[in-house]
Structure 1
Amino acid sequence: MLRLTLLWLISLFFASSVTATAATVTVGIQNFVFNPNTITLNVGDSVNWVNQDGAVHSATQDANLWSSDLNTGESFNFMFNTPGTYTYFCRFHPFMRGTINVSSQGTINPILCFFSWAESNYPQFFAPAGNVSLLTFPPYTYRYYPVTDSYLAVSSTDNHVYYMFGNDGIIHDAGAFSDWLGTAGCQ
């Protein structure tokens, strides 16, 4: 019953969605090239590398901040929470290089930052990643993830994070939003 109520509320209040300020830039890996190979982002934005080549590639940051091996068709997402210049390469093909410039001039929305972090770190629960809108049903700001039939929300009443997996229909309290912001690097 709770699940049906939430689905009804989502459809009823879909029109009150808020456009996100965080962005995700896709880098295609094809013909042994990162395309685009130079990107400028704001703090809180993410990059999603997609291997469109027939060979295995990686997106490996020079200082080992991140690294991911990608088979054909696989992708890897990383959110940038600290300004700076980040260079990366393919560990299988070191001549393949890219640069990401992250600016602190863009404003970061803590809820968007947290949701992007949760999608990147818990894709088995919150998929697909990269939803560009937030839904509101006071006191909740939330996202619905159709692939995993789950919800992630922040309540303005108690400033807690909540989640629900559609198959169990139980709303779970994950704790204080401020604690999660620290964990996610969104402060």
Structure 2
Amino acid sequence: MAVNQSYELPCGRDLDTVWDRLDEVGSGHADEHELTCPHCRTARESLLALREATQELVDEPDPVPPDLVGRIMSAVRAEVRRGQMLSLPTPEPGGVEVSEQAVAVILRYAADSAGGVRARRCRVRKAGVDSDGASVVEVELTLVVRLGNRDGGETLARVRERVVAAAAARVGLSLAKLDLLVEDVYEDGE
């Protein structure tokens, strides 16, 4: 393995040469310069420490993060077509629009924060326009509920409250309709 940039040490030796000869010098095959030069010795020590640290990283790879699947699914959801554009209320003249998909991401996040449930799919569709010119939407949110959840009604009420609040406070939309569909259950650790 060679160092990408050429760097000359104060003694005139190239750092690439020191790197390439690490094993030879370590096995007793050093030339006179390598035995006596303080610049080469210092560079060799630094390169050996670098090689050792790199080998430790290779030998002990990071464990897979427990939320990896959730993060991947969030990215996949974000890549789906953005859908129709929705008008948002603005204090100034002019307009701001946001995609249905962007609103769906925010509403799924709000549902996930309720605890005991995970949002799967969220469909946002424009249902009309309010007096301020902002879109009014209908939302269908598909959920999975944690296995053993004994307060399903309270959990769904908490989801409904958080989704409605997020639509109004984070996006500026009002909901004409919010359908919550429980599709499946999950176990902790999934």
TM range (shorter): under 0.3
- Of Structure 1 and Structure 2, the greater strand share is in 1
| TM-score, length-scaled by structure 1 | 0.25
Answer 1 or 2: higher relative contact order, Cα 8 Å, separation at least 6. 1
Task: Work out which of the two has the higher radius of gyration on C-alpha atoms and give 1 or 2.
Answer: 2
